Structure 1
Amino acid sequence: MPGFEWLGEEEKNAVAEVMERKVLFRYEFANERKGVYTVREFEKAYADFAGCSHALAVTSGTTALKVALASLGIGPGDEVITQGFTFVATWESILDAGATPVFCEIDDTLCLDPEDLEAKITDKTRLIIPVHMMGAAARIKEIMAVADKHGIPVMEDTAQSVGGTLDGKALGTFGRMGTLSFDPVKTLTCGEGGMVITNDEELYVRASEYHDHGHDHRPVGRGNEGRRFYGFNCRMNEMQGAVGLAQLAKLPKMLETQKQTKAALKEALERVPGLTFRHVPDEAGDTATFISWFMPDAEQAKKLAELLAKHGAAPVPWGVNTWHNYAHWEHLHAGSSVIRSGWPFKRPEGDLNYDPAALPRTTALLDRCLSWQIMLGWDEDKLKQMTQAINQSVSEW
Structure 2
Amino acid sequence: MPGFEVLGKEERQQIMEVLDTGVLFRYEFAEQRRGIYKVREFEQAFAAYTGAACAQAVTSGTAALKVALRALGIGPGDEVITQGFTFVATWEAILEVGAIPVFAEIDQTLAMDPGDLKKKITDRTACIIPVHMLGGAADIDRITAIGAEAGVPVLEDTAQAAGGRVGGRHLGTFGRCGTFSFDPVKTLTTGEGGMIITDDEELWRAMSEYHDHGHDHLPNAGGRGGEGRHFLGDNYRMMELQGAIGLAQLAKLDAMIESQRAHKSRLQEAAAVLPGVEFRKHPDAAGDSATFFAFILQDEEQQRRVNTVLCEQGVGAISFADNSWHFYPRWEHLLAGSSRVASGWPFAEPGGRKRVVYDPDALPASVELMKRTLVYPVSIKMPESRLAQIATALQMAADA
Q: Which deviations, in whole Å up to 9, do the C-alpha atoms of 1:320-355 show, x marking residues without a partner?
A: 111111011100000000111100000267431001
Aligned residue type for 2:286: A
Residue 383 of structure 2 is matched in structure 1 by: 379
Shift of 1:280: 1.1
In 1, the alpha carbon distance for the partners of 2:225 and 2:234 equals: 14
Match of 2:104 in 1: 104
Residues 47-77 of structure 1: per-residue CA shift (max 9 Å, x gap) = 0000000001100000000000000000000
- Which of residues 253, 264, 267 in structure 2 aligns to 1:265? 267
Cα separation, 2, equivalents of 1:321 and 1:385: 24
Counterpart-to-counterpart distance in 2, 1:180 and 1:225: 28
Question: Which residue in the other structure is 1:155 paired with?
Answer: 155
Partners of 1:262 and 1:199 in 2: CA distance: 32
The letter for the 2-side match of 1:89 is A
Whichever residue aligns with residue 313 of structure 2, its letter is: H
Q: Does 1:365 align with 2:391?
A: no
Equivalent-residue separation in structure 1 for 2:355 and 2:26 (angstroms): 41
Aligned 8 A contact 1:216 1:222 in 2: no
1:217 deviates by: 1.5
Q: Map residues 314-325 of structure 1 onto 2, 5 A cutoff.
A: 314-325=316-327
Q: C-alpha distance in 2, partners of 1:256/1:351?
A: 46
Alignment of structure 1 residues 80-119 onto 2, 5 Å:
80-119=80-119
Q: Is the 8 A contact 2:303 2:373 kept in 1?
A: yes
| SS of structure 1 residue aligned to 2:225 | coil
Per the alignment, in what secondary structure is the counterpart of residue 292 of structure 1?
A: strand
Structure 2 distance, partners of 1:318, 1:178, is 24
Residue deviations 1:368-387 (CA, integer Å, cap 9, x gap):
11000001121222211221
Task: Write the distance in 2 (CA, Å) between the matches of 1:394 and 1:365.
Answer: 20
TM-score, structure 2 as length reference: 0.98
1:286 matched residue in structure 2: 288
Question: Deviations for 1:102-124, whole angstroms, at most 9, x for unmatched residues?
Answer: 00000000000000011001110
Q: Give the C-alpha shift of residue 223 in structure 1.
A: 2.8
> How far, CA to CA, are the matches of 1:49 and 1:331 in structure 2?
38
Is 1:228 the counterpart of 2:225? The answer is no
CA contact (8 A) 1:215 1:223 kept: no
Aligned residues: 396
Q: Does 1:354 align with 2:366?
A: no
SS of equivalent residue, structure 1 residue 222: helix
Map of 1:172-251 to 2, 5 A cutoff?
A: 172-220=172-220, 221-251=223-253
Residues 329 and 361 in structure 2, CA contact (< 8 A), matched pair in contact too: yes
CA distance in 2, matches of 1:347, 1:73: 21
Q: Tell me, what secondary structure is at the counterpart of 1:387?
A: helix
Distance in 1, matches of 2:228 and 2:320, equals 49
Contact 2:78–2:99 (CA under 8 A) maintained in structure 1: yes
How far off is 1:39 after superposition?
A: 0.3
Give the AA of the match of 1:363.
V
Q: Quote the residue 1:131 is aligned against.
A: 131
SS of 1:31's equivalent? helix
Q: Distance in 1 between matches of 2:396 and 2:136?
A: 29
Q: Is the 8 A contact 2:214 2:229 kept in 1?
A: yes
Structure-1 residue corresponding to 2:254: 252
Distance apart, 1:30 and its partner CA: 0.5
- TM-score normalised to structure 1 length: 0.98
Q: Secondary structure at the match of 2:52?
A: coil
Structure 1 residue ranges without an equivalent (≥5): none
2:32 is paired with a residue of what secondary structure? coil
CA distance in 1, matches of 2:254, 2:166: 16
Superposition RMSD in Å = 1.0
- Secondary structure in structure 1 of the residue aligned to 2:126: strand
Give the drift of 1:248: 0.4
Counterpart residue type for residue 22 of structure 2? K
Alpha-carbon shift at residue 230 of structure 1 (Å): 1.1
SS of the aligned residue for 2:252 comes to helix
Given that 1:311 and 1:392 are in contact with CA atoms closer than 8 Å, whether structure 2 keeps it comes out as: no
Q: Which runs of 5+ in 2 are unaligned?
A: none
Q: In the alignment, is the contact (CA less than 8 A) between 2:177 and 2:196 conserved in 1?
A: yes
TM-superposed deviation, 1:303: 0.8
Letter in 1 for 2:299: D
Letter in 2 for 1:384: A
- Give the % identical residues: 57
Runs of 4+ deviating beyond 3 Å: none
Q: Deviations over 1:352-372 (max 9, x none)?
A: 100110000011111111000
Any conservation in 2 of the 1:39–1:241 contact (CA below 8 Å)? yes
